[in-house]
Amino acid sequence: MRIISRNINTVNAFSKLEKQVTNSAKQRKAIDPSEFSAKLHDIGETYVSSNNLTNFNRISSRLAENLVSLGEGSLAGAVYSLLIKLNQKNTEALEKFATNALAIAKRFHDPIHIMARANDLKEIYKVTQPNSDKHLKTLQTEKRALKEICENYTKVQGRFHTIKRAMKPVEGYELKLAAIRYEIAQILKDSNKQLAMEELEKADAIMQKHDKGGLYKKIQRLLEELKK
């Protein structure tokens, strides 16, 4: 990856990139997502090293909103992905950016990124609001995205575009789906035993196709607990 000097004029660098990408989007010119992401990453790291992340958050959020309005949901998602990466220690900012990114992924019917952004939010609520409605809602969102990926893997793979990596084999998403169903059951076990059992039974059906490791054992233990 090309490295930008820390002495770079970050304001000018960002303004130049913003102008280039928005003009290309307006003119419906192809934009190389990998090149865009690399440039934005370098600029973002320079803002961080100069203790100016707050300003980068502000101008990058504005860029993401503009890209969405221009129909460039994938690029907007890349902006928010970087903001999520850079703001891991700022829970308030992290929640805001993950929520915005999730809305974009939903708008563009992108189950891979719906899953990823719902997972970001789930990890936040697991700590800040465990077992809350928000926690459960994000788990349900992640479950629906994973279910769509597993049931329509080839179709999703055909329209999946990401900057750095390809989709995992379908088995990986199946195991994630089983794990999410287990997490949902844990939250529901006291308030809605029947729904918790249904989630666990579906998780168990998935695990029957795979090696029966730690997750399988957890599912079996909770099933036995709820059957008493």
Residue 3 has a pLDDT of 39
Residue 17 has a pLDDT of 96
Residue 112 has a pLDDT of 93
Q: What is the 3-state secondary structure (H, E, C) of 97-130?
A: HHHHHHHHHHHCCCHHHHHHHHHHHHHHHHHHCC
Number of Cβ within 10 Å of residue 137's Cβ equals 14
pTM here is: 0.88
- Per the structure block, which two tokens stand in for 52? 């100016």
Tens digit of pLDDT at every position of the chain (228 positions): 343 444 457 889 999 999 999 999 999 999 998 899 999 999 999 999 999 999 999 999 999 999 999 999 989 999 999 999 999 999 999 999 999 999 999 998 999 999 999 999 999 999 999 999 999 999 999 999 999 999 999 999 877 655 556 789 999 999 999 999 999 999 999 999 999 999 999 999 999 988 778 999 999 999 999 988
Residue 224 has a pLDDT of 95
Q: How far apart (Å, rounded) are the C-alpha atoms in residues 124 and 37? A: 25
Residue 10 has a pLDDT of 82
Q: What is the 3-state secondary structure (H, E, C) of the chain?
A: CCCCCCCCCHHHHHHHHHHHHHHHHHCCCCCCHHHHHHHHHHHHHHHHHCCCHHHHHHHHHHHHHHHHHCCCHHHHHHHHHHHHHHCCCCHHHHHHHHHHHHHHHHHCCCHHHHHHHHHHHHHHHHHHCCCCHHHHHHHHHHHHHHHHHHHCHHHHHHCCCCCCCCCCCHHHHHHHHHHHHHHHHHHHCCCCHHHHHHHHHHHHHHHCCCCCCHHHHHHHHHHHHHHC
Over its C-alpha atoms, the chain yields an Rg (Å, rounded) of 20
Residue 157 has a pLDDT of 85
- Compute φ and ψ for 188, nearest 5 degrees: -85, -10
Long-range CB pairs of 135-142 (<8 Å, 24+ gap) are 135/187, 136/184, 136/187, 136/188, 139/180, 139/183, 139/184, 139/187, 140/184, 141/102, 141/114, 142/114, 142/115, 142/118, 142/180
Angle formed by the axes of helices 33-49 and 53-69, nearest 10°:
160
Span between the terminal Cα atoms of the chain, in Å:
57
